[in-house]
Structure 1
């Protein structure tokens, strides 16, 4: 009888990424992945010690894909904006993994490329060296939070999304002006959290970069 096929690390990650396109991380398991590959869990544990390590590795591949073709062009702000857009776009194609990245982070090559490029861009901004690590952390947290938040909306089933929109309309447009005077006043201009995410992403990140620029200007 022929022995079981030996799967490479890359093949395992490919299969895991494909599974996570249609299932959430909570229901994902090494056992289920092994079943898809026609092997047993022990063979996968030779590559990854546990589920968390596997998920981190899959998320890091998304970061690697985000950096594929990236070139550090423009000033320091443009470099960070371009990189952030590419990370957003990459996780937009794999929304289930955005929460994994935000929750577990990653120490792989993709993560290191992004950290290094952000630090290099911040050095080019003129910030004092001692302020660069903190500014990097603020930018990283902001990008991860925005990407994960947007991905959360992307994974909501259509019927649940419509229910949420109906609840939003009732809560906002039907607000009692005596109890919620400001809400009633701005009701027709308030947008749901899922609306115009791209513009929100750009503007919020731009505010943080403007803060960095102001810090650099006070040097």
Structure 2
């Protein structure tokens, strides 16, 4: 009797990414992945020691794809902005995996390429070396949060989107002025979370980078 097929690491990651697009990280399991491949969980554990390690590898492939062919251009703010938009676009094609990256992070080549580019850009900003790790961490959290937040909106169905808009209209336009005076005042101008996501992404990132530029300028040239 022929033995079971041996799946390569890349084939396992392909299948895991496909499964994640339909089930999400919360319901994903190595057992489900093994069933999809027609094998048993033990064969997958020869490639990955745990579900978390597997999910990190899936997320890292998104980062690696985003960095393929990337050439840094412009000043440090332009470099970070361009990188953030590349990551946003990469996870936009597979939005279900954005939450995986935000939750499990990654330690592979893709992650190292992203970290290297951000750290190099921050060194070019004029910030003192001892301050850069802390600013890097906050910037990484911000970018990951913005990408995950946008991905969460793009994965809802058309029906869920319409229901959400209706609930938003009821919550805002139906707010009692005596209890929610500010909300009632701005009711016709406040927009739901899903509106103008791209502009919000770029504005928030630009504001953060501008703050870093002010910090670097206040510190003066490196000694």
Take 1:128 and 1:215, find their aligned partners in 2: how far apart are those partners?
10
Matched, 1:79 2:76: no
* Equivalent runs, 1:3-22 vs 2, <5 Å: 3-22=3-22
Take 1:81 and 1:132, find their aligned partners in 2: how far apart are those partners?
17
List alignment gaps of at least 5 residues for structure 2: none
1:165-209 CA distances to partner (integer Å, 9 max, x unpaired)? 101001111221221111111111101011111000000000110
Take 1:212 and 1:93, find their aligned partners in 2: how far apart are those partners?
30
Aligned length, in residue pairs: 219
Normalised to the residue count of structure 1, the TM-score between the two structures is 0.97
Report the equivalent of 2:162: 162
Report the equivalent of 2:49: 49
Report the equivalent of 2:101: 101
Q: Secondary structure at the match of 1:189?
A: coil
Take 1:154 and 1:20, find their aligned partners in 2: how far apart are those partners?
15
Take 1:62 and 1:128, find their aligned partners in 2: how far apart are those partners?
31
1:45-85 CA distances to partner (integer Å, 9 max, x unpaired)? 00011111111110110111111121101110000000000
Take 1:137 and 1:32, find their aligned partners in 2: how far apart are those partners?
34
The runs of at least 4 aligned residues of structure 1 exceeding 4 Å deviation read: none
Take 2:93 and 2:80, find their aligned partners in 1: how far apart are those partners?
20
Q: Secondary structure at the match of 2:48?
A: coil
Alpha carbon RMSD of aligned pairs, Å? 1.0
Take 2:26 and 2:71, find their aligned partners in 1: how far apart are those partners?
35
Q: Secondary structure at the match of 1:188?
A: coil
Report the equivalent of 1:175: 175
Q: Secondary structure at the match of 2:24?
A: coil
